[in-house]
Structure 1
Amino acid sequence: MPSASANYRTLLRTSGAVAFFLPTVVGRLGIAMTGIGIVWLVHARTGSYAAAGLVTGAFAVAGAVAGAQIGRFVDRFGQARVLPCALGAHAGAVALLLAGTVADLVAGVLVGATMPQISALSAAGWSALLSGERAAALPTAFALEALANGVSYLAGPALVSVLGAAGRPGAGVLLAAALVVGGGLALAAQRRTMPPLTGRTERRHAGRALLRFPFLRQVALGLAVGVFFGAMQVSVAAYAVGRGTPDAAALLYFASNCTNLVGGWVYGAWRHGGSPRRHQAAAAACLTLASLPLTFLDAPIAVGATLTLTGLAVPVLLILTSVLTEASVPRAVLTQAFTWGNSASAAGSAGAAAVVGRVVDTGGAHGGFGVAAGAAVMVAVLALGGLRDSSSDVPGSSAPTETTAPNLPAAGRDPGR
């Protein structure tokens, strides 16, 4: 682990890295708090979990649909111009939700539609900062992104839940909005490290890459991973409740999340040799093999151990999805590309949570685990199919458009480290 820490320190010592990365950490913590904050606020206001779930679902769907459009505007006009406008609108939407002057459902849609996907902006920032001969450090940078997201979704919901349980659900939503707006504005101020803008003609040609198989494969893979997440969340809770030990769900979630962080940390620190597509296929195969036993295992220790194995594979898949997305599209549409991937994952998770609830009602927790295993199989099929893609989406080759994407030198030969 000392060498791992050294690799991450080396990355953060890159000129300008800390200045733009720290604001994104603050902003994504607020994003992680917003959804559960809406649940607490609407439930306190209506006394109905059904109403709270409906508003939160509308918030998530609106964010997934509008996020890619915000990303498109960022690619066209730049983060410095788009972020303040989006954040101002987001602050206004949160104010409407807190004041209750419009229907909660409408306010939830507005809050989601105006929230910029800060993790996508951060990923695009790393791509611009680590261009040229430093590009081999991108897997480590995307691993740092995965770690920041993982920590945010561990700490954020817990903090909001403490405020909600103390009878201050509005304070949780307000704090989340303050973190999103504050982190976003601080990011918008970092003009030196922002991705450079491109011309209209270049953007038009570059947009064709968003319709080609190398990129669409990564979006589909993100969707499948999202389905896996959503199915596992419901299934783990159903398993614990079904055994009469509902408190065990927290321990199972904790074990899986901890190994998730460890898996992302270790992969990011490793000097990656070989093809990222092969790494992705290997991680997908491991996820599938680890998920299948959950369809029949019943002993808590066995289930817990299996969940920790899935937690090791998931962050590697997410890191490599970012790496291959960055390599498959030109820089002119990179923010939009990252946002589509995030939106696909969020949509898959939300949709799976709704569907698996019905599956669990009829088939029990093992039925829900079966849906998760099916999603893992789909991840493996997509990743293995990527091995047949042309060399245009691997390090060292240009994106398959008229516009040349940044080259990624072979991993493991990083002269910038």
Structure 2
Amino acid sequence: MSSSYVTVLRTPGAVRLFGAALIGRLSYGVVPLSLVLAVTGATGSYARAGWLMALFSISGVLISPLRAGLVDRHGPRRALPPMAAGYALVLLGLAAATWRPGVPYPALLALAVAAGVFAPPLGPVTRARWSALLPDPGLRRRAYSLDTVAEELLYVTGPLLSGVIAAATARPALGVVVGAVLVLGGTLALAASVHDGPAPTEAGSTSTEDRSSSWRLLARTRQPLAAAAAAGAGLGAFGLLAVVFAQRHGRTADVAWVEATLAAGSAIGGLVLGALDWRASAQARLAVLTTAFAGALALTSLAPTLPLLAAVAALAGLTVAPTLTTAYLLTDELAGPGRRTRAGAWVNACFNAGGSAGTALAGLLADRLALPLCLVLAATPALAALTAARGRAAAAPGDGRPSGEPSAGAGAGVAESRR
């Protein structure tokens, strides 16, 4: 029990941190679907809703490392409340603007960009705080696994809550209001759960030092960043191609079962990863997981029916949360104190950018190539990411950083926009 999930939650401050983070991050599961429905109802156009959500996502991805850097420099208690307040106010503005038709579309686009700019980096902050609370590698791995699985489940329950609100009230904009309340309450509680200013293990460096070390940080963390981008690209492409598969089999609605089995497999894989002790280094484990993810995605090309596609999706899901958990852990380790939140935000940004690119490319290819070939191609980003793994392995002996977690004892630690 000394190294179990129960021990993680019994750590002083852990339950308060975890609970506050879950409340705030639930907003990121609720807002996207609510906003799509609200904008579609207000403008009468799915295309306009799509462009608005694209700007919302892109602005969030581009600004995410900058916001995380502010948290590293000034501490969560100082940096998070202004971001949460700004984000909540913009969400309320979007809710008011989409409550009824009539607001000019450019105004909606401007509000969407502002929302992406202000969205607080709750995921990276939470993981950085886990590192501060749990210096033991085994417990930290379990905390990251638990955190990743919980995040996966939030992106399943969030859209369900959005759908319930829209169906019960016929006002999808009300879901945006709920998202504003969740993110403000959760973020303020999260900020209150940490010490004033930057934590001792995360004391930020000067802005000049930050700028001079940015490229070195990206180069040092290229393996986990490439793995996160590849996972996002593969999942983004597979999500769209699964819809195409279901449509061609005349059972479009049943694609939900494919997504559900993928999420279930991811949750199981994440919990298993955290429960076991590992002797392999995080770099080696990430390379194996990336390869397994690519292989499972390629296997989906052989599925002749939706039930078999769902079964293979569950197999692929077993590697998703472990891959992301390992990427977060390795990035945290390689970044070191003072840059943990920012490095975690880069993992999020790479995952989200990969997902957007994968979805877009899959849409282009689905009309031009056979569907099985498209499913095989969805696995190629993960295979390409292995090049970064080999480069990292070659650079590790002389980079001045530890190559992984301890090899004995506790062992080596290891969809939607993640913010």
Do Structure 1 and Structure 2 share a fold, with TM-score over 0.5?
yes
Task: Indicate the residue corresponding to 2:34 in structure 1.
Answer: 37
Task: Indicate the residue corresponding to 1:174 in structure 2.
Answer: 177
Q: Distance in 1 between matches of 2:371 and 2:141?
A: 35
Amino acid at match of 2:325: I
Q: 1:146, CA displacement in angstroms?
A: 0.7
Contact 1:226 1:345 in 2 (8 A): yes
Q: 1:391, CA displacement in angstroms?
A: 4.6
Amino acid at match of 2:43: T
Q: Distance in 2 between matches of 1:284 and 1:122?
A: 24
Contact 2:92 2:180 in 1 (8 A): no
Distance change >3 Å, CA 311–CA 411, structure 1 → 2: farther
Q: 1:210, CA displacement in angstroms?
A: 4.8
Q: Distance in 2 between matches of 1:210 and 1:23?
A: 33
Distance change >3 Å, CA 392–CA 147, structure 1 → 2: farther
Q: Distance in 1 between matches of 2:145 and 2:211?
A: 26
Q: Distance in 1 between matches of 2:405 and 2:299?
A: 38
Distance change >3 Å, CA 207–CA 187, structure 1 → 2: farther
Task: Indicate the residue corresponding to 1:88 in structure 2.
Answer: 85
Q: 1:348, CA displacement in angstroms?
A: 1.2
Contact 1:359 1:367 in 2 (8 A): no
Number of equivalences: 400
Task: Indicate the residue corresponding to 2:156 in structure 1.
Answer: 154
Name the stretch that deviates more: 319-328 or 274-283: 274-283
Q: Distance in 2 between matches of 1:241 and 1:380?
A: 33
Contact 1:76 1:198 in 2 (8 A): yes
Task: Indicate the residue corresponding to 2:100 in structure 1.
Answer: none
Q: Distance in 2 between matches of 1:328 and 1:234?
A: 34
Amino acid at match of 2:127: A
Contact 1:83 1:184 in 2 (8 A): yes
Amino acid at match of 2:178: L
Aligned partner (choices 119, 125, 137) of residue 121 of structure 1? 125
Contact 2:4 2:139 in 1 (8 A): no
Task: Indicate the residue corresponding to 1:188 in structure 2.
Answer: 191
Distance change >3 Å, CA 205–CA 182, structure 1 → 2: closer
Q: Distance in 1 between matches of 2:286 and 2:227?
A: 10
Task: Indicate the residue corresponding to 2:56 in structure 1.
Answer: 59
SS in 2 for 1:363: coil
Task: Indicate the residue corresponding to 2:414 in structure 1.
Answer: none
SS in 1 for 2:303: coil
Q: Distance in 1 between matches of 2:205 and 2:312?
A: 50
User: Which blocks of at least 5 consecutive residues in structure 1 are unaligned?
Assistant: 401-406
Instruction: Spell out, residue by residue over 1:43-74, the C-alpha distance to the aligned partner (whole angstroms, 9 max, x if none).
Output: 11112111111111111111111111110111
Instruction: Spell out, residue by residue over 1:11-41, the C-alpha distance to the aligned partner (whole angstroms, 9 max, x if none).
Output: 1111111121110011111112111121111
Contact 2:69 2:342 in 1 (8 A): yes
Task: Indicate the residue corresponding to 1:403 in structure 2.
Answer: none
Instruction: Spell out, residue by residue over 1:234-278, the C-alpha distance to the aligned partner (whole angstroms, 9 max, x if none).
Output: 011110011111122011111111111000011111122221111
Task: Indicate the residue corresponding to 1:404 in structure 2.
Answer: none
Q: Distance in 1 between matches of 2:63 and 2:211?
A: 20
Distance change >3 Å, CA 115–CA 287, structure 1 → 2: same
Q: TM-score, normalised by structure 1?
A: 0.89
Instruction: Spell out, residue by residue over 1:327-374, the C-alpha distance to the aligned partner (whole angstroms, 9 max, x if none).
Output: 111211111111111011111112221221121122253343133111
Task: Indicate the residue corresponding to 1:198 in structure 2.
Answer: 203
